[in-house]
Chain A
C-alpha cells in the first residue's frame, strides 16, 4: 500500500535560517508528489508539485523540493525562513494521478525571532 512518512513531527528554526522538511514515500512506481501548508484555522494551500522531468521543483513563497528516486524522498527546502512560515506542512502522494491524495502526518514548524 502507498504511504507517506514525515519523520519530524516538530521542527524549530530561527528566522533567517535555512529549512529542510523530510518526506519519504512508499510506492512501486513514480507517483505524483505534493507539498501543502496549513496555517491555523486555514485550509491546505499547495506549495508545489512534482509529476516528471526536472527533479528540482520550485514553488510559491520561496520553497523548493527535490525528488530523489533512489531514496524515495521529496524533501522541502527554503534558504531563509520568515516568521510567517510557521505552520504545519504536509507531504502527499498521488499514486498514478491526482485523484487520490495520501498525506503524511505533517511537520509542525515553529520559527523563533
Chain B
C-alpha cells in the first residue's frame, strides 16, 4: 500500500512569506498528525486530527500556524508569516486501527 505522501519535499522562502505543506495519509487512516523536527532534535507534535476534528492542537503556535483537514483525508499545514525560527522539517504521520504511527518523508523548510 502507498505510504504517507507529503509535498513539497523542500521549500525555501523569505521571512514574512506564507508557506503551506500538504499531506495525504495512508488510505483508511482516520488519525493524522503534524510534527515539527528541528535540527538535531526529535519530532514534536503540533496537531492531531481524528477525522476532521483537531483533537490536540495544544502545541500549535496559533498566531501564525493553521491547519485543516476538511474531508477527513488530506491535510494542509500553513504558516503565515514565516519566521527564521520556523526552519525545520515538517512531518506528517497517520494511524489506523492499530494506532501505530506511519510517517511521511517530511518537508524541509528553510526560511531566509
Residues of A at under 8 Å CB distance from B? Answer: 4, 36, 41-46, 49, 90, 92, 97-101, 103-106
A-B contact pairs, 8 of them (CB 8 A): A4-B42, A41-B105, A43-B91, A49-B100, A90-B42, A101-B43, A105-B41, A105-B42
Main secondary structure of the interface of A (DSSP, over half): loop
Task: Classify the secondary structure of B's interface with A.
Answer: loop
Interface residue ranges, B against A (CB under 8 Å): 3-4, 31, 40-45, 48, 56, 91, 93, 95, 99-106
Which residues of chain A have C-beta atoms less than 8 A from B93's C-beta?
44
Asked if B48 and A100 sit within 8 Å, CB to CB, the answer is: yes
Cβ distance B29 to chain A, nearest Cβ, rounded Å: 12
Enumerate chain B residues within 8 angstroms of A44, measured Cβ to Cβ.
43, 91, 93, 103
Q: How far is the CA of A99 from the CA of B94 in the complex (A)?
A: 10
